Amino acid sequence: MSNEQGPVAVITGAASGIGRGLAEHAATLGMRLVLADRDAAGLQALCDQLQASGVQAIACVTDVGDVTQVERLRDQAVEHFGGVDLLFNNAGVMQTGFSWEITEAQWQRMLDVNLNGVINGIRSFVPLLLSQGRTAHVINTASLAGLVSSPLMAPYNVTKQAVVALSETLHYELAMLGAPVSVSVLCPGPVASEIMASNQVVDTAGSDFSQLLDSTIRQGMTPAELAAQVFDAVAQKRFWILPHKGFKPAFERRVQSILGETNPQFQMADVEDDAHAAR
């Protein structure tokens, strides 16, 4: 990242949770920041805080599900800082409930933010990164749900597994071109955040699961701890970023189930183990 004034990082979903942790860590590394979120007040508060400490940062209210807004985000990054070195496609929302009870609008919201947000980020920024002719990195936030499915989380599982597939495909394509642009997919377990505030709870037995999930997330790894691991992985140009290790038994069971063509089994203890391991 050859920029005398410091690399430029674009971070979506920056106003809170993982995105805020990434922004604050990037600031300690002397990066210039382009911060995006739909939460205008939270985004501006973070931007003001960083600017007060001497960080070059701009805020751009963005709905990542709208490609024209993501293109505007790219254009503002170029206008203010001349280019982009790191792209964090990080914005995400949650939806729980039985698969058949989740409404069409709820499904669409998850697809728009969690999946189309990443697609729009790739389509808008990767041509720019390639045209710059210098080292750059794309980091897509998926989840352990991108590798292991859980009940009552169908839209989240579907979108996050799609993000993993898209990231791996992008990695192969850039390697085919011999491009200086690298890719990582971030698959964290519970990270302390307010993501469950975005959950439009379906009034069924699934609400008990939502409460348990919310508790597990709030007790998870801190965004600051996660961000440190992410930037370490980016420095090493690692594709897989797996901050939580407690998921491995569940992943091994899934692989064995696939290879053995046996029916899959879910154990809630796997999620809870990850939360305990992160404390």
Catalytic residue list = 156
Residue 51, exposed/middle/buried by CB under 10 A (0-12, 13-18, 19+)? middle
Q: Is 138 helix (H, G, I), strand (E, B) or coil?
A: strand
Pairing of strands 240-241, 181-186: parallel
Taking the C-alpha atoms of residue 14 and residue 22, their distance in angstroms, rounded to an integer, is: 8
Taking the C-alpha atoms of residue 190 and residue 254, their distance in angstroms, rounded to an integer, is: 20
Write out the two tokens for 171.
């990695």
Q: What's the chain's Rg over C-alpha atoms?
A: 18
CB 79 within 8 A of CB 34: no
Write out the two tokens for 67.
């490609």
Q: Is 191 helix (H, G, I), strand (E, B) or coil?
A: strand
CA nearest 115: which of 164, 177, 75?
Answer: 164
Q: 57: Cβ–Cβ under 8 A, 6 or more apart, which residues? A: 23, 27, 32, 33, 34, 35, 47, 50, 51
Taking the C-alpha atoms of residue 12 and residue 245, their distance in angstroms, rounded to an integer, is: 25
Taking the C-alpha atoms of residue 208 and residue 159, their distance in angstroms, rounded to an integer, is: 23
Question: 110: left (phi > 0), else alpha (psi -120 to 50), else beta?
Answer: alpha
